[in-house]
Amino acid sequence: MEQLLTTNVANNLYWFGRYLERVEATLIETLFHFDKIVDIDKDSGKKFYKKLGIDIEYTNAKDFLKESIFGKHDANIYKLITYAKENAIISRSNIDTEAFGSVVELADLLKHSSHANFSIDCRFIEYILSLISQIWGELTRREKRDTSDYFIRLGKFVEKVDFHLRVGHDKEFSLVVIEEIDKIATILAPNAKFKTYDENDTYETILNSVNSKINKIIVEEE
């Protein structure tokens, strides 16, 4: 792990991991709520995005897919992938070459699909998910991890906890992921001390502490 990173690069690697995980998690939820809109609850998609602090409107299940990918809100998939691409460009020399190429390919796919006449269906979303799985695979295939790899994983795990808690899933899973975050944080900042959590802690308490920890690590890495 003998690799020196500037604060800017470390921050972009971290957010690259966060945005890529956010896209993947959002798309999985989108497919889940698509089925619910069709079969059970036409407002299921609205309820999901409300948990993310966003109000959306759609006319039917297929329109919900379009809103998720290209809707005029800050959580649309096209915008999130664009952010991930920007992070990857800034930290390009510290990202696997094939993974970087796959990120650019995914961003270009969404850009070319953003015109009004493009028809979005579940197969399109499943294809995006397959590309994201490919990117994760390309990012983790090295036998020996560098510092850059840990920052990407840190972003992935922090986003996993954040998203999981926001949409109202059980805390037990989040606490397991936080253990992985702490392991990485210990590698990056071996002298730091970390608070333990339990299921009685609120969402805000857990996330505020995790984010404080991450900010400390990134600032001190320079």
- Looking at residue 187, what is its pLDDT? 84
Reported residue count of the chain is 222
- Looking at residue 67, what is its pLDDT? 96
- Looking at residue 174, what is its pLDDT? 79
Token pair in block for residue 221 = 């890495």
- Looking at residue 140, what is its pLDDT? 87
How far is 181 from 153, CA to CA, in rounded Å?
8
- Looking at residue 166, what is its pLDDT? 87
Domain ranges of the chain: 7-220
- Looking at residue 37, what is its pLDDT? 97
How far is 111 from 186, CA to CA, in rounded Å?
39
Extract the residue ranges of the chain whose pLDDT is less than 70: 1-4, 116, 143, 192-199, 203, 209, 212-213, 215-216, 219-222
- Looking at residue 183, what is its pLDDT? 86
Host H or E run for residue 43: none
CB 38 within 8 A of CB 61: yes
- Looking at residue 222, what is its pLDDT? 42
How far is 182 from 185, CA to CA, in rounded Å?
5
pLDDT digits (tens, 9 = 90+) for 30-49: 999 999 999 999 999 999 99
CB 209 within 8 A of CB 217: no
- Looking at residue 2, what is its pLDDT? 53
Quickly count helices (H) and strands (E) in the chain.
9, 0
- Looking at residue 124, what is its pLDDT? 96
